[in-house]
Structure 1
Amino acid sequence: MAAPRYRPLQSDRDDLRIATLAALALAIHVAEAALPSPLPGVKPGLANIITVTACWLYGWRVAAWITVLRIVAGGILVGTLLSPTFFLSLAGGLGALGGLALARALPGTGPVGYSLLAALAHMGAQFTAAWWLFIPHPGLWLLLPPLMTAAIVFGVLNGIMAQAMIRELGSQPARDGHEAT
């Protein structure tokens, strides 16, 4: 009997970078899940500091991988996989990636702008998913102003922290899918 034929997986620097940053974001995500929430749907989103930093330094593709890995692995570890919480998290994460794509397209946008746009898009996508999938009640709209206010506050604060990380790392933004120096 012949040995099975296989092709060994090849990993590169990006794979290691994505795995490391996703693990860091996941650890923050799991720790943050244990924090009490003052209002349903309001968390600081500290894992997004890693995503914004990664998007700035290594590009949108790396940020997208980190986001998807964090959401799926976080759903498994926290026990919310395929629950309403998971789908709200997924909607928010995809919305945030859209916000990051927009931020990258706007000239002169810095890490705080990246984070702010991502936070607003995240909250908007989560709210829309909650409305469409779970609570199509007019009373839900009363939550939108405090939720968007929280998104602004945490988006700016997380952006300031991402900017400090980027400054500490001393790197310029990635453009056109090429790694920053």
Structure 2
Amino acid sequence: MYRHITPDRDDLRIAALAALAVAIHVAETVVPSPIPGIRPGLANIVVVTVLVLFGWRAAAWVAILRVFAGGLLVGTFLSPTFVLSLAGAVSAIAALGLARWLPGIGPVGLSLLASMAHMSGQFLLAWLWLVPHPALPALLPVLMTAAVAFGCLNGMIAASLLRRLNRDTRDPRRSMHE
């Protein structure tokens, strides 16, 4: 009485992109950060790409899976680091969900919005839960500046990747391995 369910091509592509996001997330955790709390968020390039190609639900799935799988693989599952990462991902996905109704926003704008929401969500949780010190908001300009810089950079990379994918799908002679 079991029904065999065969995933379609999009499901397989989304799963592969989720695996890539997890791999990038794990790799990024071993690179030392010159300023605590600031990372480039390179896995978010994948989330923005999935958002543009497959929609918000797929992007939300990739972002949340990245946090859970990354936390398990790195050994931070259910730690404050994991909770902060989850808060940032949920904030970014919520912002991207709202951005669906903004006309003409491209990958750079989406990445910038997600990056700023991610940092805001993490900062708010850190301030309310971990470090409720009145001096903590003095760090917010530095953190948001990093969010803007990395959000724009990651958005430009996502836009370039999307242009490449679009070009390769239009011209069957081209391959991603050139």
Q: TM-score, normalised by structure 2?
A: 0.89
- Alpha-carbon distance, 1:132 to partner: 1.6
For structure 1, the residue ranges without an aligned partner over 5 or more in a row are 172-181
Give the match for residue 44 of structure 2: 48
1:145 alignment partner, one of 141, 156, 159: 141
Question: 1:116-142 CA distances to partner (integer Å, 9 max, x unpaired)?
Answer: 000000000000111122111112111
Quick check: 1:111 aligned with 2:107?
Answer: yes
1:92 alignment partner, one of 73, 88, 95: 88
Question: Which structure carries more relative contact order (alpha carbon 8 Å, separation 6+)?
Answer: 1
**1:80 aligned counterpart, secondary structure:** coil
Cα distance in 2 between the residues matched to 1:77 and 1:9: 28
Amino acid at match of 2:165: L
- Alpha-carbon distance, 1:9 to partner: 4.5
Cα distance in 2 between the residues matched to 1:160 and 1:103: 18
Q: Equivalences for 1:36-75 in 2 at 5 Å? A: 36-75=32-71
For structure 2, the residue ranges without an aligned partner over 5 or more in a row are 168-178
- Alpha-carbon distance, 1:37 to partner: 1.0
Q: How many residues align?
A: 167
- Alpha-carbon distance, 1:100 to partner: 1.3
1:14 alignment partner, one of 10, 15, 23: 10
1:26 alignment partner, one of 22, 28, 35: 22
Cα distance in 1 between the residues matched to 2:131 and 2:105: 35
- Alpha-carbon distance, 1:105 to partner: 1.5
2:122 alignment partner, one of 98, 122, 126: 126
Root-mean-square deviation over aligned CA pairs: 1.3
Cα distance in 2 between the residues matched to 1:90 and 1:166: 26
Cα distance in 1 between the residues matched to 2:10 and 2:159: 22
Question: 1:40-67 CA distances to partner (integer Å, 9 max, x unpaired)?
Answer: 2100000000000110111001101100
- Does structure 2 conserve the Cα–Cα contact (< 8 Å) formed by 1:111 and 1:162? yes
Give the match for residue 82 of structure 1: 78
Q: TM-score, normalised by structure 1?
A: 0.88
